[in-house]
């Protein structure tokens, strides 16, 4: 699902204009991005939790050349689904 599809869904379900729906989506995503920049987690009840984790520097190897190199420290975002979402997904036929 794309951002445009989210806007269309809000437009159809809530009845807001597409511009208003797009503004709402942009505000939500901007707020989530800013929360990640601050190193905070985002918990959406019934959906899951996004966490910012810090990875330390480590030694790695280029798989193509076999050359060893230093992998720099960085932040990554992880996602853990809520039990409610897991239950809904597991109920669906495969």
Tens digit of each residue's pLDDT (9 = 90 or more) over 21-30 = 999 999 999 9
User: What is the CATH topology of the domain spanning 1-38?
Assistant: HU Protein; Chain A (4.10.520)
93, pLDDT greater than 70 = no
Q: pLDDT-based confidence at 94, cuts 50/70/90? A: low
Phi-psi region of 39 (alpha: psi -120 to 50; beta: other; left: phi over 0): left
Calpha distance 41→48 (Å, rounded): 11
In this prediction, residues 67-81 reach a mean pLDDT of 95
CB 11 within 8 A of CB 25: no
Tens of pLDDT, residue by residue over 12-49, are 999 899 999 999 999 999 999 999 999 999 999 999 99
Which residue, chain included where needed, has tokens 């019934």?
A: 46
């Amino acid at each position: 699902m794309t951002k445009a599809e989210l806007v269309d869904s809000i437009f159809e379900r809530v009845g807001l204009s597409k511009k208003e729906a797009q503004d709402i989506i942009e505000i939500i995503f901007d707020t989530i991005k800013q929360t990640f920049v601050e190193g905070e987690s985002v918990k959406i009840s019934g959906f899951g939790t996004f966490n910012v984790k810090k990875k330390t520097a480590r030694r790695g190897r280029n798989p193509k050349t076999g050359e060893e190199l230093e992998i720099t420290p960085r932040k990554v975002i992880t996602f853990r689904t809520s039990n409610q979402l897991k239950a809904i997904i597991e109920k669906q036929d495969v």
